[in-house]
Amino acid sequence: MEKLSNGENMDESPCAAVYGCADCLMEDACDLELAMMRPLFNHSFEDIQREDEWSGPHGFLFEPMTYPTKPELSQQFLDAANQLADAIVNKDVADYTLVYPTMFLYRHSIELILKCAMGGDADGHKLDQLADTFARRCKAQYGQEVPAWITTRLKEIAKVDPNSTAFRYAENWDAKSKRKAPLDDEFHVDLHHLRRSMAVLHTALSRVIGKLRRQENTRSPDGGAGA
């Protein structure tokens, strides 16, 4: 009878149901115990050195020098959504198994880049309100109207997922009943159209960020115009 490092018998452990299917999870009990007991967040960097990003060990490094900017973070979510879309198109996985993760990643990437386009100081998850705020700021700061298709697209997404919960939890807050409720609408999203639309919207909002940065670079440290 195999034992854990703490001397506990496998089949007598409170997690016996998990240990019972160890054969289908890990090669041996040691691997299973590591999966259960080893900390996820490692503060020792001695064993993670590698030649490049394609060689092992593969993992995620969190440290100040590698923290992404908000636009970069938005791009990461967009890239992740595109990776899922690619897996579906390549028939690596059935489309219905990745509905909510794909939609959430696209929505979140757009929310992040929209907030960046407003200087990064916008709060909340309501895309319709963020869209209105964005339109007001563009009018006040640049004297320009936001193209109608941008606000229309943002509010279209907000109608289905107003608070960034529909695609995360498959539910929205019902103001009438004062409780969370599952989505009750019926609609279809074309994957190719979704990907193209999110790419165009993300690019348009990214250009606004570029304009903001150019404006900042033309100003002196004291806020006046640069030479």
- Per the structure, how many domains does the chain have? 2
Give the chain's count of helices (H) and strands (E). Answer: 9, 2
**What pLDDT sits at residue 9?**
57
Q: Please state, in angstroms and rounded to a whole number, the distance separating the CA atoms of residues 89 and 91.
A: 5
- 3 with 82, same domain: the answer is no
Written as one letter, the residue type at 129 is Q
40 and 129 together in one domain: no
Domain that holds residue 162: 64-217
pLDDT, average across residues 137-145: 86
Q: How many CB atoms lie within 10 A of CB 225?
A: 7
Average pLDDT over residues 152-180: 88
For residue 103, pLDDT over 90 is answered with: yes
Q: How far apart are CA 200 and CA 206, in angstroms?
A: 10
| Same structural domain, 145 and 182 | yes
Does residue 124 fall inside a structural domain? yes
> Is the pLDDT confidence value at 15 over 70?
no
Is 224 within the bounds of a domain? no
Q: Which residue has the tokens 């999203």?
A: 189
Answer whether residue 166 is part of any domain.
Answer: yes
**pTM of this prediction?**
0.81
